[in-house]
Amino acid sequence: MKVASLVVRAMPADFPEVQASLRGIPGVEMHGASAETGRIVVTVEDGEGWSVADSILAVNMAPKVHGVTLAYEYTDEGLEHLEA
């Protein structure tokens, strides 16, 4: 499992269009938005047929998105090799 949290920057007037685009990206879930700061907080989770990296790239390339900041990333890959 891989999960990432992103802060998406956009003009508040463009939020409806940006949010509609984000809803169409696999693994993306929106958690909050601030028109005052022009930020939308989302998480991205991998799944069957897509990767977190692909979805992060799609968020970054979505229309009207000005920028994306990776705030948090987690993977459990390789944990089975660690001893308790």
Q: Summarize the confidence of residues 32-57 as an average pLDDT.
A: 96
The pLDDT, as a whole number, for residue 76 is 86
* Domains of the chain, CATH where assigned: 2-76 (3.30.70.920)
pTM of the model: 0.88
pLDDT of residue 8: 98
The answer to whether the beta carbons of residues 73 and 59 sit under 8 Å apart is no
End-to-end CA distance of the chain: 19
Q: Residue 32 above 90 pLDDT?
A: yes
Stretch 38-43: mean pLDDT, rounded? 98
| Euclidean distance between CA atoms 6 and 56, whole angstroms | 8
